[in-house]
Structure 1
Amino acid sequence: MDGEQLAPQKAIMPNFLDFPVELIIAVLDYLPVRDLNRMCETCRRMREVCSRLLIWRRLGKSYVHFENSSGREVITNMESLSLREKCRIAHNWSSGFHTEHIYIRFKTGLLPWLQLTTDHLYISNMNKISRYKVQSGGRLRSLQSSKKEIKYTGHSQDVNKFVVKENNVVSGGSDGRAIVWDKASGRTIQALQSDLGSLVSIDATREIIVAGTNGGGVQMWRQSDGRGVRNVPMKDRVWSLIVDPTQRLFATGTSGNTDYTSLKVWDIATSENTPMLVCGENKRQGEGILDLIFESSNVLLSAGYDTFVRQWDIRTPRLPVMEFEEPSDNAVYCISSDNNYFIAAGYCRHGIVRFWDKRRSDICVQTIYVGGNVKSPVYSLQFNKHCLYAALSHAVYVLDFGAYKPEHENYTSPLEPLTLLSQY
């Protein structure tokens, strides 16, 4: 034995899976969301480690997550998602990955209007409004399974605008009628006729219906008995109208064809026909307002012909708080908000939808071309954390950002810089 040489022992290579959990997590912190999801699929040990909230909580700080969507009604149908799933969807938004399909195709060119609530998507189609079920994940059910959904009928001409408020659906049409339906049954509660022409914008409180007319002016009725409350004369058609969350004020946006400032705020209760506030210093050429949203009782968003989306504080209405200018000089037809940092705007050409971040007013953080090469404007849009719903002249499109990427897609390097949307 003394003369024998001992055989050298083979060095034992350390196994990454045998490392302490804290050390594995420290290494995984350097991976982007796509690689973390792939690590979860390798083995049980990695799935257990990668499922810990600590990893996704740190990674989630690098992505922007949409909060409650739509300035017209709060959407809370995504709260059940895990933090891992939220990071994956936010990564899809930041990279622009989505699947797109046509949900409804119209036989003729229309100006459809959308409203998204917790459980349903409402779509105007000529002289009726249809309701479609939204699943818990924010996606729409198939069109075939939605055939039994309620339709709200009663207009003799096209529905221009409508709003879903609490238990009612209130619409204004080209026939000059304002109709109130029961949301659950579709039963007509009130049918009111305007003497100022076509109703091009409408909103409601619990007691009052407020409608903007094509003939110039605002007409108001009491919901309980349909009796007229008051008329507010204006020298221009009222393209947009919105009631504030406290239901004490309403804002109007006119077409901008006169020498008067287009954006005004009115008191609902007063009998005087003078505005309480006028937003903006001077009349700007072509500043007609096409859409309005109250994010809160003091924060108002406006958009229109002059290519700007503006944020106003009605406590200091002399100048806008922020301005978001369309780089291609396109009019803004509609806006939607997550009531937090993000605004989605639909434009007058090529199905363009742009997302703006209130913390970066100088640059658009995401641009999406809905429908490929279509030339239609985006007449209405809504979004939640999973999907973007956009109404164009011939179809309603659903863009699903919660879809999974195919396995054969080209791999993205972890060292590749993230897009603007994910840098905050």
Structure 2
Amino acid sequence: MSRTTRALTAAAALLIATPALSQTIDPAVQKRIDRILKQTPLIDGHNDVPEQVRENWKFSVEGLASGSDKRQPNPMMTDMERLHQGRVGGQFWSVYIDASVHGDEAIRQTLEQIDIVTRLVEAYPNDLELASTADDFVRIHRKGKIASVMGVEGGHQIGGSMAALRQYYRLGVRYMTLTHFATNEWADSATDDPKYGGLSPFGVEVVKEMNRIGMLVDLAHVSPDTMKDAIAASKAPVIFSHSNARALEDHPRNVPDEVLALLPSNGGVVMVNFYTGYLSEPFRQWNANRAAEEARFKSLFTGQPDKRNAAMDAWDKANPPPKAEIGIIADHIEHIVKVAGHDHVGLGGDLDGIPYDQSPPGMNSVAGYPLIFAELIRRGWNDKDLAKLAGGNILRVLRQAEAVSASMKDVPPSLATLPPAAAAAKSD
């Protein structure tokens, strides 16, 4: 697999670079990218700024105008200036809460996250505007702004309530990830022990209700069996808002080929993640080895934090993490295309939700998207397929979900409830 980027030529002095990028893009290539992204909005499937605002900035949305507005202790991957540098035309903002929170408390915390996004949009009216439909994405992009919607990152966030699900949609949520890192009351997670072999009967009802109201079913984070059950249950295309190809990196968060092969008939889209831990198999192996050493040192040096930390520092120095270049993102994109086709791939960087130093060079910022397009142009991609990747595919999915919802206008709202045992198990 190629891991190289476009070689510099004798015209190096004429190359341009976006200020926040460490690489350069040939002016002719940049002009082509700009033409494509002017016609079709670049829509990213997952950004975790709201989580950062909640956990690190006491719910404040100030200081995100530009990269010169320094925020500590963690460097931010997102600000308004860099969104424009990255030619971003639409963003799904994740309204994530921890997977351990359930019931009414989960609903309260989710509403607080939704409030962060609405305040974020209000704070930067020249840059952001709330969207409701696919047509809104196009309209807002033409105004030079970033169309903004929300994604709930875990089915635990509805607290077992269909009414909460419907209210989230009315507040601007346009997808829900069925699970996060933990299996919830009605669906199996990719990173937890299974309980239902996919979706429970209530989980199937959730998918049907999402179809009815027009909310996208997001299968990032779910187990392969949950993926298959949701695709079978859904009348509308599904999405994977920030996932990669499991054939290239055998992480349970990624999508296996047998599921990718289902997307052409479903119409769904896998939006590729920029985290090295989901891109690189050597990095995944390194991460596992590091975790094992950390556990070993914890056992060896119980009650001796100085020795434990020194041993870990020595291991880190002797075992630097494997590097991943921009080409690895293109490799995952092209594998998805190979199995599912050009109509079923998009971008979902997971920025501000991944470690700052664990993405390919230039991709730890929302300014970096043109680098992906430049790499794919180097590989021979045509403008039509680049436009599909940028936003054409997710716009199609949104329109299809809207059409399915319209076709179900006479279906009454679901009154399904969690079985008492499932509800009690998570409230204990």
- Normalised by the length of structure 2, the TM-score is 0.31
Larger C-alpha radius of gyration, 1 or 2?
1
**TM-score (normalised: structure 1):** 0.31
